[in-house]
């Protein structure tokens, strides 16, 4: 006999979330004329609730860019709180403490206002004595549905001995990769320029461990991953080195070590590598912190911010408003926090695509015109001076590329 129950805390938390998300967002959205999408999905489980939860999770994954972490936690709680008793080799269900309507509200709430509800097309028992659920899920179209979908793949790892060490202690590579990925995703989400595909969604669709241990991945393979995930852009990288040690002499402590992360940005639609770079940080010179651990945390933060910033600028490059003014200053069509005084850029004229005959990869032909430096920043625009190159050739809509860190 199988019986399961939600803990009082979980049920209360989900009910409160339900009141905020399902009870408030959906009706208000309807009143404002929000449109809906419908997705059919199938799920299988040992109980009716697990089958429905699995089907709903599948529907969310079909939409892409949806956070399914809450559903994953619910699924884990259902499995852990299940009490299974065997009678004559068969498993049967007892009455459930959570009602059908209450369970549905909890699922809707766990979807953070992304769905208005779902219809059970069928819930049947299979020959294997499991439950098969077919749902028709009603999605609320997001205001951000027109944003490009971005997939941040798990960082790949190297097998070089000693590549991941802290004061002689071997660091777990997967944990490092997770921290880098999380910090990078945070930067993309805060930019509000993308729908960032959920971490659990990506893990469900690809063999993460096998991918992380591949020594190299061709751009064509990254395009395939992107298409399978339903992404417009893919960010993929390798943590080549993450090590350091503290050296104490008397009352003075110095730090030695490096963080090296290589990454590239792929346009899934065109197959083009729109940016590739390597970020290098020296633990002694480039990061701050009173201990080796805080310096590593700072390194992770800096690398994450650098990678997310370079990715955003490669996909949505800063554009030139027009030729330099009479005093030689150049006006750029971006300002605010994304641009800082002192930053340097290369002004590029964008040409046509060229194809690498050896790899078949597409690369956009860009012609360097000048190097510029930001001198003033306003909320919507910024101003730069030409450091070198021919400013007279700069024209409207030329793009500004950040100078690659590997070349600095």
Boundary (domain end) residue, out of 270, 288, 315: 315
91 and 207, same domain (yes or no) = no
402 and 377, same domain (yes or no) = yes
The region that residue 105 occupies, defined by phi over 0 for left and psi between -120 and 50 for alpha, beta otherwise, is alpha
Structure tokens given for 335: 């300002």
Looking up residue 159, the CATH number of its domain turns out to be: 3.40.50.10610
Q: What is the pLDDT of residue 79?
A: 58
Other CB atoms closer than 10 Å to residue 174's CB: what's the count? 14
Domain tally, the chain: 3
259 and 342, same domain (yes or no) = no
How many Å apart are CA 247 and CA 229, to the nearest integer? 45
226 and 345, same domain (yes or no) = no
Number of C-alpha atoms within 13 angstroms, CB side, residue 89? 1
Q: What is the pLDDT of residue 235?
A: 94
Average pLDDT, 10 consecutive residues per value, the chain (408 residues):
36 33 36 68 85 81 57 60 45 46 69 76 87 85 72 87 81 83 82 79 73 80 87 92 82 81 92 88 75 80 85 90 88 87 91 72 80 93 92 91 61
How many Å apart are CA 220 and CA 252, to the nearest integer? 50
Q: How far is CA 150 from CA 32, 108, 174, 313, in A?
A: 28, 25, 22, 14
Residue 187 domain boundaries: 148-315
299 and 380, same domain (yes or no) = no
334 and 211, same domain (yes or no) = no
How many Å apart are CA 110 and CA 113, to the nearest integer? 8
Is residue 295 within 8 Å of residue 287, measured between CB atoms? yes
158 and 282, same domain (yes or no) = yes
34 and 62, same domain (yes or no) = yes
Boundary (domain end) residue, out of 112, 140, 168: 140
289 and 339, same domain (yes or no) = no
Q: What is the pLDDT of residue 25?
A: 33
Specify the 3-state DSSP secondary structure of 239: strand
How many Å apart are CA 199 and CA 287, to the nearest integer? 28
How many Å apart are CA 103 and CA 211, to the nearest integer? 36
Q: What is the pLDDT of residue 8?
A: 34
Element housing 57 (H / E): helix 48-63
209 and 287, same domain (yes or no) = yes
How many Å apart are CA 279 and CA 162, to the nearest integer? 19
Q: What is the pLDDT of residue 400?
A: 93
Q: What is the pLDDT of residue 27?
A: 38
Boundary (domain end) residue, out of 140, 158, 187: 140
Looking up residue 366, the CATH number of its domain turns out to be: 2.40.10.410
Name the pTM for this structure. Answer: 0.62
Looking up residue 90, the CATH number of its domain turns out to be: 3.30.1660.40
116 and 165, same domain (yes or no) = no
Q: What is the pLDDT of residue 264?
A: 93
311 and 338, same domain (yes or no) = no
């Amino acid at each position: 006999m199988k019986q399961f129950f939600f803990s009082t805390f979980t049920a209360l938390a989900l009910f409160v979330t339900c009141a905020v998300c399902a009870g408030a967002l959906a009706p208000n959205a309807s009143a404002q004329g929000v449109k809906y999408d419908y997705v059919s999905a199938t799920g299988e489980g040992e109980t009716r609730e697990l089958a429905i939860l699995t089907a709903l999770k599948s529907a969310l994954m079909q939409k892409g860019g949806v956070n399914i972490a809450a559903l994953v936690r619910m699924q884990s709680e259902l499995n852990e709180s299940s009490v299974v008793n065997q009678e004559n080799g068969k498993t049967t269900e007892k009455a459930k403490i959570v009602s059908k309507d209450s369970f549905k509200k909890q699922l809707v709430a766990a979807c953070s206002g992304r769905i208005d509800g779902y219809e059970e097309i069928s819930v049947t028992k299979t020959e294997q004595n499991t439950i098969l659920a077919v749902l028709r899920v009603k999605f609320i179209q997001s205001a951000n549905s027109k944003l490009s979908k971005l997939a941040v793949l798990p960082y790949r790892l190297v097998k070089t001995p000693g590549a991941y060490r802290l004061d002689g202690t071997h660091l777990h590579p997967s944990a490092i990769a997770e921290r880098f990925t999380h910090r990078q995703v945070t930067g993309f989400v805060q930019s509000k320029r993308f729908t960032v595909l959920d971490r659990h969604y990506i893990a469900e669709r690809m063999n993460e461990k096998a991918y992380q241990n591949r020594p190299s991945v061709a751009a064509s393979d990254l395009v395939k991953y992107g298409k399978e995930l339903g992404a417009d852009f893919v960010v993929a990288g390798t943590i080549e080195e993450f090590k350091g040690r503290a050296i104490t002499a008397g009352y003075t402590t110095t730090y030695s070590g490096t963080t090296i992360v290589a990454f590239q940005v792929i346009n899934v639609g065109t197959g083009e590598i729109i940016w590739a770079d390597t970020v290098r940080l020296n633990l002694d010179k480039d990061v701050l912190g009173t201990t080796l651990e805080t310096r590593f945390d700072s390194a992770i933060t800096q690398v994450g911010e650098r990678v997310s910033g370079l990715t955003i600028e490669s996909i949505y490059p800063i554009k030139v408003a027009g030729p330099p003014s009479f005093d030689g200053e150049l006006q750029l069509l971006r300002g605010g926090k994304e641009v800082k005084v002192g930053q340097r850029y290369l002004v590029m004229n964008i040409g046509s695509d060229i194809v690498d005959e050896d790899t078949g990869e597409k690369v956009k032909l860009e012609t360097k015109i000048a190097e510029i430096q930001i001198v003033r920043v306003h909320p919507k625009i910024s101003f730069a001076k030409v450091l070198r190159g021919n400013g007279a050739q700069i024209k409207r809509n030329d793009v500004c590329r950040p100078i690659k860190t590997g070349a600095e």
